Amino acid sequence: MLIRKPPPPRILVNNVSCMRNAQTVLRNINVTVHDGSALVLTGPNGSGKTTFLRMLAGFSRPSAGEILWNGHDTTSPGVFQQYKLQLNWLSLKDAIKNKLTVLENVQWFEVLEGKDGSASLPSLELMGLGRLANEKARMLSMGQRKRLQLARLLAIDRPIWLMDEPSVALDTEGVELLEYIIARHRKQGGIVFVATHLPIEIEDAMDLRLPQRFPRRKTSVDLLD
């Protein structure tokens, strides 16, 4: 009987640590991620959630360990040029141009991707912004700006999503839309990394809770115990 080997992981985080300003931010992180998977990063402020995403994006390098994509070190220049084309980055900085229309803000990124811009309007409609497509982006509320970011993510359509606090500023309907597009992306074989301190329903997601980076200082109340 022929026994099939399990597929190799798409991304392997192997014993990764990160130092910043002579302080350990992350220590000995190990994660195995296959196509269709989701990893939710939680933990207190300053625990390294965004730092972890930035390492995955290649904005910074591990101080120890390695991040492998398809078995290859992502810090290798030749590999990184291929790897970065797989990534879709969503951060708290929305990169929205206020002088452009809502539609133009999505189409601009599509054109940079070498596409014809035809996915922009359907993506906006999915995120509930279709009626605002021709409005200037400066007119949007904070929640609508977040929806615009998510529409841009959909239009660019890369397989690996790196999402830093994606539900911030979203109302209940917006969070439900976020959960829907994450589930849809995973069904299509996509990978999702989410750093959050707010609850997001993601079925069968792996959870990585990062510990407090620095021990809390004792206060006078602690001394009374």
Question: What's the alpha-carbon Rg for the chain, to the nearest Å?
Answer: 19
Regarding predicted confidence, which is higher, 50 or 220? 50
List the chain domain ranges: 10-86+160-168+191-213
- Among 54, 63, 65, which Cα is nearest to 91's? 54
pLDDT given at position 220: 52
| Domain 10-86+160-168+191-213 indexed as CATH 3.40.50.300 | yes
Q: pLDDT per residue over 91-121, tens digit each? A: 999 999 999 999 999 999 999 999 999 999 9
Sheet holding 11-20, edge to edge: 23-33, 11-20, 64-69, 72-73
Could you give the residue ranges of the DSSP H alpha helices within the chain?
49-57, 77-83, 102-112, 120-126, 142-156, 172-187, 220-224
Q: pLDDT per residue over 32-52, tens digit each? A: 999 999 999 999 998 999 999
